[in-house]
Structure 1
Amino acid sequence: MSQSIMYDVVQSVAAAVAARFPDLPVYTEPSPEGFTGPCFFVRLLKSEQHQELGRRFKRNYSLDVGFFPAAERSRESAYEVAEQLYELFWNFQAEEGLSPGAGMSSEWKDDGTVHLYLTFQHFVWSPASEEIKMRKLQQEGKVKDGV
């Protein structure tokens, strides 16, 4: 199982946001100085993995798409952007077989930022074991009544 799947999930979401809002910067790494709005910040909050059957695992990826509005239109633009993000991710088709937004919620902070929390599901397989399961098989058989 590759750790790059997590990176690909974040990049796919960031690319979708950038395509929907081409005039606004989209960051995937935190800025030490903070963000100057309007801009987006996409980050992976949490990932979980549960064994389903044998070598099959179900992963859940929880992401935060934060929108930092310009100071002069903070609440108004945050409402507009939240609505557009819901439309964007309700049927989002990412690479690697991710299901569309399995769960979405949004939260408005006191500083005017809005955070859309997304959850995606993905099934992965662990590699098969290389060990030899059986060394030798001997089979005997007889024909009964010529049949």
Structure 2
Amino acid sequence: MIEEKVKNGILARLDELEPSFDKYDEQIKQGFSEPAFFVRQIDGAQEQKLGQRFTRMLMFEIKFFPDPDSLTEQAACQNMASRLYESLVYVVQGGITYKGLRLRHEVIEDVLHFFVSFEVGMMAEKEPVPKMEKIELEEHL
């Protein structure tokens, strides 16, 4: 599934960015350790193009929870947003590069909410056409 590939690519980029931080992608469990990232897909759409081609649009939210013992949580969120802008321009997964689009962020109650979209070009599989069996031709003069 393309959504899982892109999400795994985002998680890999976050691991490169901050290997020591925990990363969650399903749900945030009670008592999780901070600082941490939480990644989830929040929106998706598909648009038909020419023939069998279509574009799938995927929007992800990356939440960053800074260290709660820090006195500069707001500054930590802004700093991480700046780093995410640089890191999520391109995400590579399985040898395929996905380009991050419409990157934006907001900080709400000392939690960074970072949004990034990806547009993935795809092609639908063609239905198999049955092959013609034998044909006999007769020629008369």
Give me the TM-score of the superposition, normalised by structure 1.
Answer: 0.80
Of 35, 58, 63 in structure 2, the residue corresponding to residue 66 of structure 1 is 63
| 1:131 CA displacement | 2.9
Q: Residue 123 of structure 1 aligns with which residue?
A: 121
**Take 1:31 and 1:81, find their aligned partners in 2: how far apart are those partners?**
20
Residue 47 and residue 34 in structure 1: after superposition, are their counterparts in 2 closer, same or farther (change >3 A)?
farther
Aligned positions, number = 132
Contact map agreement 2:42 2:60 (CA 8 A) in 1: yes
Q: How does 1:33-72 map to 2 (within 5 A)?
A: 33=30, 35-71=32-68, 72=70
* Maintained 8 Å contact 2:101/2:117: yes
Query: CA separation of 1:93/1:15 partners in 2, compared to 1, >3 Å: closer, same or farther?
Result: closer
Q: Deviations over 1:70-123 (max 9, x none)?
A: 122311111111100001112x1423645411210101102x000110001101
CA contact (8 A) 1:98 1:122 kept: no
Aligned to 1:113: 111
Please name the residue that 2:75 is paired with.
76
Identity of aligned residues (%): 26
Q: Return the index of the structure with the highest Cα Rg.
A: 1
Gaps of 5+ in 1: 137-147
Normalised to the residue count of structure 2, the TM-score between the two structures is 0.83
Q: Which runs of 5+ in 2 are unaligned?
A: 135-141
**C-alpha RMSD of the superposition:** 2.1
Counterpart Cα distance in 2 of 1:98 and 1:61: 14
CA distance in structure 2 between the aligned counterparts of 1:113 and 1:135, rounded to whole angstroms: 65
Contact 1:102 / 1:119 at 8 angstroms: preserved in 2?
yes
Please say which of residues 8-17 and 96-105 is displaced more in the overlay.
Answer: 96-105
Contact 2:22 2:33 in 1 (8 A): no
Structure with greater strand share of residues: 2
Q: Does 1:26 align with 2:23?
A: yes
